[in-house]
Amino acid sequence: MTDDVLIRANGPIGHISLNRPKALHALTLPMCHAMSAALSEWADDDSIKAVILDHAEGRGFCAGGDIAFLRDSALNDGGVSGRKFFHDEYQLNHQMFTYGKPIVAFMDGITMGGGVGISMPAKYRVATENTRLAMPETGIGLFPDVGGGWYLSRLGQRLGQFLALTGARLDGSECLWTGLATHYVPHEMLEGLKARIHDHPDRIAGVLSEPVGTPPKARIEANADKIAKHFGSDEYEDILASLDAAADAGDTWAATERNTLGTKSPQTCKVALRQLAESAQLSDFADNMAMEYRIASRVLTRPDFAEGVRAVIVDKTGDPKWNPATPEEVTRDLIDAIFAPLPAGEEWKPLAN
């Protein structure tokens, strides 16, 4: 086990608290293994009625996966250890998605990438005024994985495509409005709610729905029509052209979003659009994770990932040199190769029961 995640049983509640505050609780492989082992143990323990997932301290719920580790793998071991990380992290995501007992995720803080992957499978997803949820992977040459294709493709109104491409951050009320959160609760009420869930694990929905005030108006709602219009195509060039035309006509929102997309990896943006389109057609979450593992296995060692992490996270220069450099240079053959089945014996599989 690891001190980076605190695991304990508290009466009828299994409690998992992420505990890497200096790294905003970013997930490491030992953390994923510890969480998975605890969930497996509690699944067979009749005294455990529900699971609470939160963070021990600090301003982040979970900032994502261990990006520095993944970049090191891409540069130094051909992606072998990075693929192992993705494989086992995705097993945890699937385990949570199919878990037989209710999980309550308290997304009280920064919730990005891998943090989305461990909160979205929860039956109850609680946002607060501190929540900042995003899938910012297009900015580092990765893609919205950990089940992102499944969740984002099912939001409707092309909100998922907008979030996947731009990496836009949602606050707590926006999470509730989009459906990414099931409840909105002020931070100051959380400890009391956790105590109430402990006392009444059989009626979590009722506890979370007790009067907590009205959340602020979701800002994204004001732009929902524009998002549906400009992000309506699965062809990346169509989206760019739509935003360009609106920006040329004086739409400052369109100009801002077009400029944002100009900083993203063209390869990743095309991958994300196809990922969401294919995820929307799937009926089994395991099939989605198998697809995302294929993508992850390929993009991990493509040039854009190491370069994106260098520019955005390591050197913080904000000047990634994408390869291919333009959307037009990202060919259908390249995307097909990224999505192609893996060799026999290398495909992703869920945890054995």
Q: Which residues are CB-neighbours of 225 under 8 A, at least 6 positions away? A: none
Residue 307 annotated to the active site = no
What is the rounded CA–CA span in Å between residue 178 and residue 160? 9
- Rg of the chain over Cα atoms, rounded to whole angstroms, equals 20
Both tokens assigned to 179: 């459906």
Amino acid, res. 310: R
d(Cα 144, Cα 290) in Å, to the nearest integer?
A: 14
Q: Is 4 in contact with 26 (CB distance < 8 Å)?
A: no
Contact between 49 and 198 (Cβ < 8 Å): no
Q: Find out whether 149 and 288 touch, Cβ atoms under 8 Å.
A: yes
By the 8 A CB rule, do 98 and 285 touch?
yes
DSSP state letter for 97: H
Active site residue 114: yes
Take residue 276 and report the two structure tokens written for it.
Answer: 């969401």
Which residue is catalytic, options 65, 82, 117, 160?
65
Q: Tell me whether residue 145 is one of the annotated catalytic residues.
A: yes
Identify whether the C-beta of residue 106 lies closer than 8 Å to the C-beta of residue 190.
Answer: yes
Identified catalytic residue from 66, 108, 137, 171: 137
To the query of whether residue 66 is one of the catalytic residues in this protein, the response is no
Query: From the candidates 4, 66, 108, 145, which is the catalytic residue?
Result: 145
Give the active site residues.
Answer: 65, 114, 137, 145
